[in-house]
Amino acid sequence: MTIHVVVGTQWGDEGKGKITDLLAKEADFVVRYQGGNNAGHTVVVGEDTFKLHLIPSGILYPNTVCVIGGGVVIDLEVLFKEIDELQQRGIKVGYENLKVAKTAHVITPYHRLLDGQQEEKRKEERIGTTGRGIGPTYADKIARTGLRVMDLLNAEWIMGRLKAQRWEERLTAEKQPDHKQVVADLLALGQRVAPHLVDVSQLIFRAHHKGKMILFEGAQGTMLDVDHGTYPYVTSSNPISGGACAGVGIGPNQISEVIGVAKAYVTRVGEGPFPTELKNDTGNLLRERGAEYGTTTGRPRRCGWFDAVVLRHAVRVNGITELVITKLDVLDGMAELKVCNRYLHKGQVTDEVPAELPVFAECEPVYDSMPGWNEDTSGILDYDELPLNARRYINRISEMAGVKVTLVSTGSRRRQTIKII
């Protein structure tokens, strides 16, 4: 009877895909609970690289059931493209191993177009969204005008919901898609998704009571959470562990472990404050060595030193019980490493993330300096064989977070992982 949640502790792109794939080996179910195809989870198996946007990272194990929970917003065209591509590569994706919540909300072409139009209008204040229609779809959900997957089984329901969304007022005339075509496409997508539809809350409740091992996979990260991140420079869902309860339909007391994933340095895509950002050669080096380009949009990621203030915030809002550090190998060969443990704002020291965005934007990082290591860590399997300074770096992060580190990842492949007992 185990439910574990995997969450990102930074601004997304922490390497959750690889970690979920590793943990999924033991899992009967892997469940996505929020976000949509704004996510990009990369999983490397042997010589093959899989980039998943909507399908949970457990799909590469034939006996693991993957579930898209009701808190996810689904672009069905993207879902079927992903299914087709996986099937063409010999991966089993069928009704038995991919279940979709009836209640998940649907991203339509209208939402995608509105996402782009809103970003154009925001000009200097743009959020830097992925342009996938995520924000407008969640906006309709909360405004109670959303279209749910099960609504696609009936043309009248589709038309009723689209009418309630009042697109003639929200999208400029030149942006309007062909309405009849949209309805016909949604109806066809509804027919195709129908055999995958289930009540996810019931499915997971029963599986849990049968003693199954269940993994909830968070997308994005804590600092992109709509309530606990750098609002308004956030995504429109709750990537934190609490979001899993609402997004799946289970009680918080059913969750046994919350696994926080932190990259050994920090990255961010899109706009918004980022105190430890390095706009210099070191930042460029991290980007090149870490291949820090968006999986979904290809945008270069902003890179910076490790931020323990952000990590402690993530530990608190998620209830993190264990930590995973990824991409340690990217730091190999760096003479000096810096870790931010406090911020300075107008002469005042703080060790918390301020809720006020303008204050956070003005925070300057206060760094602890640590010596780096020269050795290549990417082939190391045993924690004790890591260079002393690498172990000190991991211990320092664990100490600052107040949480034990149980896994360290030193490369994109499954075997490039060190378990710490």
- How far is Cα 239 from Cα 223, in angstroms, rounded to an integer? 9
What is the identity of the amino acid at 344? L
CB 305 within 8 A of CB 367: yes
Residue 219 binding ligand IMP, by CB under 6 A: yes
Between 40 and 365, whose beta carbon lies closer to ligand IMP?
40
- How far is Cα 399 from Cα 389, in angstroms, rounded to an integer? 15
Which of the ranges 11-19, 250-258, 311-319, 335-343 carries the binding residues for ligand IMP, by CB under 6 A?
Answer: 11-19
Helix (H) or strand (E) holding 296: none
Residue 18 binding ligand IMP, by CB under 6 A: no
- How far is Cα 416 from Cα 141, in angstroms, rounded to an integer? 41
What is the identity of the amino acid at 147? L
Q: Helix, strand, or coil here: 148?
A: strand
Between 114 and 278, whose beta carbon lies closer to ligand IMP?
114
Residue 32 binding ligand IMP, by CB under 6 A: no
Residue 390 binding ligand IMP, by CB under 6 A: no
- Looking at residues 227 to 246 of the shown chain, list those that interact with ligand IMP (rule: CB under 6 A): 235-236
Residue 37 binding ligand IMP, by CB under 6 A: no
φ/ψ region of 165 (left if φ > 0, alpha if ψ in -120 to 50, else beta) reads alpha
What is the identity of the amino acid at 8? G
Residue 269 binding ligand IMP, by CB under 6 A: yes
88: phi then psi, degrees, rounded to nearest 5: -60, -25
Residue 224 binding ligand IMP, by CB under 6 A: yes
Q: How far is the CB of 126 from ligand IMP (least distance, A)?
A: 9
Residue 9 binding ligand IMP, by CB under 6 A: no
Question: Nearest residue by C-beta to ligand IMP?
Answer: 270
Q: Helix, strand, or coil here: 197?
A: strand
- How far is Cα 241 from Cα 228, in angstroms, rounded to an integer? 12
Q: Which of 4, 28, 41, 105 is catalytic?
A: 41
Q: How far is the CB of 34 from ligand IMP (least distance, A)?
A: 10
Residue 136 binding ligand IMP, by CB under 6 A: no
Question: What's the burial of 390, exposed, middle or buried (CB within 10 Å: 0-12/13-18/19+)?
Answer: buried
Burial 94-123 (b: 16+ CB within 10 A, else e): eeebbbbbbbbbbbbbbbbbbbbbbbeeee
Q: How far is the CB of 349 from ligand IMP (least distance, A)?
A: 28
Residue 74 binding ligand IMP, by CB under 6 A: no
Between 128 and 333, whose beta carbon lies closer to ligand IMP?
128
Between 165 and 220, whose beta carbon lies closer to ligand IMP?
220
The binder of ligand IMP chosen from 40, 109, 146, 247 (CB under 6 A): 40
Residue 134 binding ligand IMP, by CB under 6 A: yes
φ/ψ region of 161 (left if φ > 0, alpha if ψ in -120 to 50, else beta) reads alpha
Q: Active-site residue 41, yes or no?
A: yes
Q: How many residues form the binding site for ligand IMP (CB under 6 A)? A: 20
Cite the active site residues.
Answer: 13, 41
Residues in contact with ligand IMP by the rule CB under 6 A: 11-13, 38-40, 127-130, 132, 134-135, 219-220, 224, 235-236, 269-270
